Structure 1
Amino acid sequence: MAVLSRQKLRIVQVLPELNAGGVERGTVEFARELVKAGHESIVISSGGRQVPKLESEGSRHITALVHKKSLASFFQIRPMRRLLADLKPDIVHVRSRMPAWIVWLAWRKMNPEIRPKLISTFHGMYSVNAYSAIMAKSEHIISISDCVSDYIFRNYAVSPDKLTRIYRGLDRNSFSEGSNIDKWKDELFLKYPQFKSKKLILMPGRLTRWKGQEAFLSMMNVLVGIDPRCHGIIVGEAESNKEHYLQELTVQCSRLGLDDKVTFVGHRSDINNFYSLSAVACHMSNKAEPFGRTVTEALASGVPVVAYDRGGASESLRAGFPEGLVAADDIAAFAHKVSALLDSEANIQLPDEFYLDSQARETLNVYYRALES
């Protein structure tokens, strides 16, 4: 099968949508790597703001209603089977549960001799039930961290040779230390003059209760008492059905007297520059997160990170900057750790396996092994 290892592949990735979020961004970045390597990249989703970027980088996007968690989605099974028969991909890679159900029900009725190989990625530690079990029905499974691998082994009858751990990789060109951001910084300071001459403490991530923005505000309340130079920045937007959470956060911010100490900047497409501007980045999820992409993004930008010691986030931090680990839910210890790092020289060493080129190489190896089996 030596010739197979040099074969150019037609790869279909399927996910609910292409808006904000780590899975969506990672899919677009991986698609770009496939195109750069000479493979044909196709993404199926219900659409979203990242479609133009995906297509401009050489992939094809096909719109399909694969995002709704309802019985109506099962009307997409036959159209999906016809689509896969027309596309004739080598690999179909599913990245979420509802699309996985549609694809698997379509795929299993195809001729096993000619149908594509089916790969899934566990991007999360989903609730254990029949709905989530679909992610374990593919021919090979990728997990995004060791803690996700452990979760899969604990909850599903998966043999070790069917599972490969591949960390979600970062684009080296997007997150790098020492980028020239002077013009961007000047424009930002015109809009947010409160950032000038401050030690900026970054809290990136979607505004959702489990991400820990409430804990961040409580931590900032302690931190500004230790070091008044600090100013918190919360980057991220609330989903359309969770805008009430943003209101709760602003009320909490005012109640703590932090209106002039913390700024909400909403969704930003220039998050890499915010990392470079910050003194410390924070990760404060109130439950074990499967990976914690913002941890590796900040570390790749040369920014020290403080995070609770649990889940995939601590796994990433332990690999690149273990000094930033704090006991889970200890707000006071978190604030003191941030303070201690403000004027220290951080020794950050993020291993190669956390970068996109490594992820692409290892994922392609999974594809080729699947084709050889």
Structure 2
Amino acid sequence: MPLKVIQFLPSLRGGGVEVGTLELAKALVEDGHESIVVSAGGPMVERLTADGSTHVFWDLGKKSPLTFRHIWRLRKWIAAQDAHILHVRSRMPAWLVYLAWRGLPEGCRPHLVSTMHGLHSVSAYSEIMCRSERLIAVSETVKQYIAKNYPQTDMGKVQVINRGVSPEEYPWGYQASAQWQEQWHNEFPELKGKRLICLPGRLTRLKGHQFLLNLMSSLKSQFEDLHAIIVGGEDPKRLAYAEELRQKVLDLGLADKITFCGARSDMREVYSQAAIVLSLSSKPESFGRTSTEALSMGVPVVAFDHGGVGEQLANLFPQGRVPCFDEEVLIKTVTQVLESGTLPIKNTLYLKEEMLEQTLAVYKELAGRS
């Protein structure tokens, strides 16, 4: 039976949630279903519509009491769509969709699905994600977070569907082309012939750059060919931190050991140059896309053992787990990985196709109850 599925999120300006929305929308169309995405728009709309989905412009993500004025019109619009599934992926749109959906006659409602993408601050505002008929947790970490912080939630409706990457996009053992490597070394000549440690992510304090600086200070004499790259753009709201970080590199005498590469759209190629990819976030992540991408390529990941990243390492590269914030163990672990050449287990757990198939199965199961 062809389904009609409507996904709701704040915008399509880029990010993990947005990428997942587009991947699912494309899978729906390819499986013969009708896919609609409601958002405030953004650069990714063109790709969405090129893949066969319909985009409806509606700003339901603005955190303002005025946004609730859309509820009556949204309820009327949902009723006219005759959809099978409404899928909410963010808290503010979830509130509006839930209130609009609840006001429909019970026998005429589409099924309501939500995905908990993040470990949000615990509050009544965040609890809205638990009110759907089926709640998808993007990792076991998120499921445990729901059970601990929202004990009133029926855990029987919570299903773990791990986020996944495509082995075609991030293939095991991938090597960047000679042309790409030439351009890379032209841009960053100091990296040629070096063993690289890569810390991906925006320049924000949460990403744990200080741990990297301390690590490089400790290892620079032991591994003369070791060089760190910080790959991520500056956060416009935290420019002072970016400047502070660059100054610390100079103060510690690490200017010849650390390179800021800025935001990159060629992360697959960047990972292929790395001996190790780090994840040193001070707060646990719900999943961790960059670590999954690197592990899928066979690149060792060393990370603090918490959240979704710790979960991935337990399954694919337990040698890379470090007790949170333990710098002594971090140094020892990086040293052991560099010296041993140990590689991750091949990724068979965090696959995009499985993620999409499991999500479509949820839709079909719910629609079959109608």
Q: TM-score, normalised by structure 1?
A: 0.92
Partners in 1 of 2:166 and 2:53 — Cα distance? 17
Which residue is equivalent to 1:164? Answer: 159
Partner of 2:357: 361
Contact 1:199–1:342 (CA under 8 A) maintained in structure 2 = no
| Runs of 4+ off more than 4 Å | none
Asked if 1:45 is matched to 2:39, the reply is: yes
Aligned-pair CA distance for 1:62? 2.1
- Choose from 23, 26, 45 the match for 1:29: 23
Q: Aligned pair 1:139/2:145, yes or no? A: no
- Kindly indicate whether the alpha-carbon contact (under 8 Å) linking 1:308 and 1:326 is maintained by their aligned counterparts in 2: yes
Partner of 1:154 in structure 2?
148
Aligned equivalent of 2:111: 117
Secondary structure of the 2:353 match is helix
Letter in structure 2 aligned against 1:179: Y
- Aligned with 1:342: secondary structure? helix
Amino acid at match of 2:169: S
The 1:38–1:245 alpha-carbon spacing in structure 2 relative to 1, beyond 3 Å, is: farther
* 2:227 alignment partner in structure 1: 231
* Letter in structure 2 aligned against 1:177: W
Which amino acid is 1:168 matched to?
R
The answer to whether structure 1 residue 102 and structure 2 residue 96 are counterparts is: yes
Amino acid at match of 1:362: Q
Measured after TM superposition, the shift of residue 239 of structure 1 is 3.4
User: How far has the Cα of 1:343 moved from its partner?
Assistant: 4.5
Q: Is the 8 A contact 1:223 1:336 kept in 2?
A: no
CA RMSD, Structure 1 to Structure 2 (Å): 1.8
**Secondary structure of the residue that 1:365 maps to in structure 2?**
helix
Residue 272 of structure 1, CA deviation: 1.3
State the 1:44 CA deviation. 1.6
Q: Deviations over 1:255-305 (max 9, x none)?
A: 222222212222211111111111110000112221122111110011000
Q: How does 1:6-17 map to 2 (within 5 A)?
A: 7-17=1-11
Separation (CA, whole Å) in 2 of partners of 1:119 and 1:16: 16
Say whether residues 1:287 and 2:283 are aligned partners: yes
The answer to whether the 8 Å contact 1:253/1:259 transfers is yes
Q: Distance in 1 between the 2:221 and 2:69 partners?
A: 58
* Partner SS, residue 107 of structure 2: coil
- 1:256-271 matched pairs, under 5 angstroms: 256-271=252-267
Aligned partners of 1:41 and 1:245: how far apart in 2?
41
Give the aligned residue type for 1:220: M
Q: Which residue of 1 aligns with 2:213?
A: 217
Q: For residue 35 of structure 1, what is the amino acid of its counterpart?
A: V
Confirm or deny that 1:303 pairs with 2:329: no
Change (3 A) 1:21 1:206: farther
SS of the residue 1:317 aligns to:
helix
Amino acid at match of 1:246: A
Q: Cα offset for 1:143?
A: 0.6
Q: Matches of 1:96 and 1:29 in 2, distance apart?
A: 17
Further displaced range: 335-344 or 272-281: 335-344
Per-residue displacement from partner, 1:114-168 (whole Å, max 9, x unpaired)? 2221101111121111101101111110111112111111222122321101101
Identity across the alignment (%): 41
Counterpart in 2 of 1:4? none
Q: In 2, Cα distance between the equivalents of 1:76 and 1:219?
A: 51
Matches of 2:228 and 2:42 in 1, distance apart? 30
1:194-235 per-position Cα deviation (integer Å, ceiling 9, x unaligned): 111011111112332222223222222223233121111112
Unaligned stretches of 5+ in structure 2?
A: none
Distance 1:83 1:302 in 2: 47
Match of residue 313 from structure 2? 317
Q: Quick check: 1:226–1:339 contact (8 Å CA) kept in 2? A: no
Distance 1:163 1:291 in 2: 16
Query: Against the structure 1 CA distance between its residues 87 and 354, is the aligned structure 2 distance closer, same or farther, given a 3 Å change threshold?
Result: same
The Cα shift of 1:350 comes to 4.2
Aligned counterparts of 2:174 and 2:288: Cα–Cα separation in 1: 23
1:70 is aligned to 2:70: no
Q: What CA distance in whole angstroms lies between the structure 2 residues aligned with 1:137 and 1:130?
A: 11
> Hey, what's the Cα distance between the residues in 1 that align with 2:316 and 2:170?
15
- Give the AA of the match of 2:126: S
